Chain A
């Protein structure tokens, strides 16, 4: 039997040479007359170890990493196919504590299977959820989703069951499922990883959503910077059509669901659901006012379920294992798991799927291993560019929606970006405002003009020009943006800005009381 060797096709691995590693392995094996089965899997999510090469052994898969092409002859020399000893040998992959200590529900398959192999997918429990959902009516599907406690993973944490119910209740001749795959938050990559590493999971989740509300068409709105995800999704969609999991008569059920990938045009704002819909309709990516909610009048004015990738990818598990199973994870009103994404100044960056309730400190130190630079971690921005900066004093905050709201912070999409003590938080506040200025759609006044004025005001504070008055002006401006903006971009940018001022006043040249 041929030995299976795994080299990820995930972007994080490809970006640091996985393709040449795969080529080298193939060449080396041929040279040595060894028959191998080279499988291009997703990533295990331990990005500091990429490219992570695995070889299958009777005891399980053994990892080597990070592997470069020039390491390959040496690995073969050391008996790679028999998991031979080598400096890069990490032992059994699933025994690596970083991996072993996770609770992988949504990412259960990612890194393990060939992402575009439908047989790999079905062999590992794939489409069981769909089969179960096909036996249910739309209202029962929605009931199970509601029971699972699933909330939107895009950041807003809106209860998914309620959203689906709203779309279900809206009478219309046509309904849509739209997946928000415009993952643009800094330090986040869980959407990408699941789309590259387990695209059938998303297809299955969207198909179940379509059954819930009787939608016959779905779109995955994919950010343009994700070419590998696009390839994986399109390959998987084509296979799903071929195998009857998509199309006019899903697995003989008589139900119809058509799905296609639409590429975005590179605007952060199009990750906001209404701007996304405008863009998907071929218009300028600009925020729509609400109400009406997209669930009532969304794509082309029709009731639309618009969910983030992770939300939809969480659905098959709920239908495979039951809402109770899913609900048993987590704490408080935050049920299930969240794939946390560790980035920034950390020794071990990567993806950690854990139930809600783990503390920030555990993620930073137990998983992340502390800072990459070895210096103390001074601040962490959680939840993307609109999330607050948390100081060390808040590192024991449990990762759940309500605990974060209590400290004027956001869990968002689960991204963490760590900074050591060399960070200048006034610069970071300025960076946040500048990000808003760069990405504002320009529709509402507080964000369109306010973000630009915000940068100017912070500059004046940094330059100590009329500092006291400008700090007050910055607070007033943030109040107008927070309360007056049309969407969450202008409305949330005060979080990072004011958290920086609040927790790190000395960086702005002001005392703790703001003076």
Chain B
């Protein structure tokens, strides 16, 4: 069913420097060259009837409703497939055209159920609309002919149904799966009258290659592919445009709402990050927002062994404030701190760090970027001058060589992966550096990496140095660019450094396990470009040399001149919806918004003036330091907004011990998450549907989220922080988050031009947005690096301390899966669990056989930090000597075994390298037994539950 606010130009907008003018029904119209006649007609305000055409798919020409007459041409060309030409004279209506269109519609309806009144698409069905438009009055064929009216529905997918009796075989779903999503899960089976949609090889949807992105459902003009929510709830009656709260792609969505219930989320065609596409999470997995597990009343308790007591907001806030004051009085000003949330808005994040600095009077604020992309901030700031990616997502459409390092876009950033796949289908080549064979290595029919650098975990820096070695020693570097745009002396030093024999491909092969020839091939391809772009993820950052590797990639990009234009750059694929924003907003203990160091007196002065307080010049505690301080007794109180580090941070048992040593842990969240089990105050948070604000995605794009329904628990997260600050004695008064953004803009040069009003008008802007770039900056470093000259830094490879041994001979590396998101707090509370009920350990057949591990059996995974038990999958995706799992399920406890090793510069944990041993077992680990017991105990302490 089409969007309830559908506006469809029929065929895609064409980009062309040349415009052409033509005449439609006597109206003069000018369109870009390459536009279709249908597009021109629509621009001229003349609707041409259509069914198989839609403006996010290439024209197809099958329905034959859009026939027109063109002066000087024989017959009745289809307007969707006929290119507009200068001087054309087109008629979209004539008696003959009316006859033909009625004739076509008569055929359609002769094989369509006449149940419009009980059809879920009633009123928003394109077939129904077109029957009206062409004026069909009777179906002379009768209804007793051959038909598809008794075909069986496929209800296997949890989110949508497929009803072939309603299908008009327009192929929009098939084409959406190919062109938009790039999965090719659908096809037409049979021919002629027997043509029908076939998922996979005539399988139910759920068993096919379908990834439930929803592109087909969105493309369907009838109710053949239809959200189950519309079957259940009926049609929405209003819409709110907002931004997805899952990953860092930042898809724009139109929430279609009825009363205060979201009926469905439809990806926004005008969304600059997603261009109307979506994935299974953003499109369908919003059921958590109404899940019964949500905690809707503030709760307090004295000890974590006590029952929770529901209290009023006032009581909860007053209690928290008095506890924090008491703690600071007893243990000192630095004994409290806070964690901002990468899931919350820029405004909310800004307020939390403001409260810490202004009300707590210290700088003990950190954010989850600490454990994901802090090395990105450090590395890119050091080399280029900006703590963020260099390009817009759309830039990939100009890339000739795409180099993915330590990222798995089809699972973790699916909508951008679809765009990337589109570019690969157009002919760009792909290099992947990953220990595991991710889907992009080879996905028939169209995706295949030309080089897979299947390195040993922990050897990234050696690999990048090896690639640089080939480029420099073979004279493939862009000396002219590097000498002009960077410090020439530094550049030469770097060249000498990487040219050392110890970084020759042969030497690097010994370290990384990647064949020397593969390194050479990849290096030459990257250097050849002409446009080579690097995209990377946590496989780069979450290492003891995470920052070094970020610098290494920036070096490589500068040396080859792949910076400062479309199609190139170094681009982090950031994990959380607002992790970029959380970093931008001054969530780190050493930085104020816009990445300005707290020790800088001038910056401090600016904030002190605005906030009316004196700021501490000393950086505060980082997350791991907070845990250490908690263990040594100097850190006692913590306000945690929308973050669950007990599940997400490494070495769980260490964190648990730290939290048990604290006196007031305040968790503000939707659910009783793992961290909340150790909390003393629970403040119910609001979902992205319940508040206004902005998120900043991986391409620095600031987009609005808009309040679709009122906060279910009564307050938006920013209001809670504001109340707490007021109770602490530091006054904050905002009526709307837009006022917070105004304050951010006043205090942050890169945000100076940002306002809600502008975002509302433009849809989005990419920072820096200020007087010199009033509409934002899609591409960074054009003409000149932000820091002036590009800064080459030497990247010596230093092996991690985490080494395999006879006791722990395998390396565990962790990652993500499409259907689940991060700690799974949201996605586990949706039907997405169908695809991933538990975390699984992937192990190579060789290692499995050696240990007697059978596919599907329980195995223990033990490291020096701890032990967990989970099911094994024997798979050749992973190389011998390496095992892989995810951390989406808290009862798995994946982070029980990860260690305290971390990046030398930023303390980002080394999640990607843990030495482990795998053994077949038949029962859960000790930690897991304790976990279950503890969880049962904590759940029993919730109000309304029976228990102690």
Contact = CB atoms under 8 A, between A and B. Distances in A.
Interface of A: 267, 269, 284, 286, 289-291, 437-453, 456-457, 469, 473, 476-477, 479-480, 483-486
A269 B64 contact: no
B103 A477 contact: yes
Contacts of B193: 437, 440, 442, 448-449, 451-452
Nearest to B192: A440
A405 to B, nearest CB: 13
A452 B146 contact: yes
Nearest to A440: B192
A480 B61 CA distance: 15
A445 B107 contact: yes
A483 B75 CA distance: 6
B572 to A, nearest CB: 34
A456 B145 contact: yes
Nearest to B80: A289
Name B's interface SS: loop
Contact of B141 (A289, A473, A486): A473
Contacts of B67: 483-484
Contact of B103 (A289, A290, A457, A476): A476
A456 B146 contact: yes
A474 to B, nearest CB: 10
A446 B75 contact: no
Given A284-B188, A438-B192, A473-B141, A289 B104 contact: no
20 contacts: A284-B188, A286-B188, A440-B191, A442-B188, A442-B191, A445-B63, A445-B64, A445-B65, A445-B108, A447-B192, A448-B169, A451-B192, A452-B192, A452-B193, A479-B99, A479-B103, A483-B96, A484-B64, A484-B104, A485-B64
Contacts of B104: 445-446, 480, 484
B192 A442 contact: yes
A467 B191 CA distance: 30
Contacts of B103: 446, 476-477, 479-480, 484
B192 A480 contact: no
A289 B190 CA distance: 20
Contacts of A284: 187-188
A453 B107 contact: yes
Q: Label chain A's interface by main secondary structure.
A: helix
A35 B78 CA distance: 67
B195 interface: yes
A379 to B, nearest CB: 26
A449 B64 contact: no
Nearest to A447: B192
B111 interface: yes
Which of B65, B78, B103, B171 gathers most chain A CB within 10 Å?
A: B103
Interface of B: 59-65, 67, 75-76, 78, 81-83, 96, 99-100, 103-104, 107-108, 110-111, 140-141, 145-146, 168-169, 171, 187-188, 190-195
A306 B855 CA distance: 52
B608 to A, nearest CB: 63
Contacts of A480: 99-100, 103-104, 107
Nearest to A485: B64
Contacts of A446: 64, 103-104, 107
A267 B195 CA distance: 14
Contacts of A469: 140
B81 A269 contact: no
Nearest to B141: A453
A291 B83 contact: yes
Contacts of B99: 476, 479-480
Given A289-B59, A442-B194, A444-B61, A453 B145 contact: yes
Contact of B191 (A291, A441, A453): A441
Contacts of B65: 445
A358 B561 CA distance: 71
Contacts of B62: 443-445, 486
A115 B396 CA distance: 54
Most buried by A among B67, B96, B100: B100
Nearest to B144: A456
Given A453-B141, A457-B141, 18 more contacts: A289-B81, A437-B192, A442-B191, A445-B108, A446-B104, A447-B192, A449-B193, A450-B107, A452-B145, A452-B192, A453-B107, A453-B110, A456-B145, A479-B99, A483-B75, A483-B76, A485-B64, A486-B62
A291 to B, nearest CB: 7
A433 B649 CA distance: 69
Contacts of A484: 64, 67, 76, 100, 103-104
Contacts of A453: 107, 110, 141, 145
B78 A289 contact: yes
Task: Select the residue from B76, B141, B192 with max chain A CB neighbours within 10 A.
Answer: B192
A240 B525 CA distance: 38
Contacts of B78: 289, 486
A452 B141 CA distance: 11
A448 B108 CA distance: 10
A448 B167 CA distance: 13
A440 B76 CA distance: 20
A473 B99 CA distance: 12
B933 to A, nearest CB: 57
A494 to B, nearest CB: 12
Contact of A486 (B61, B108, B191): B61
Contacts of B82: 291
B111 A444 contact: no
Contacts of A440: 191-193
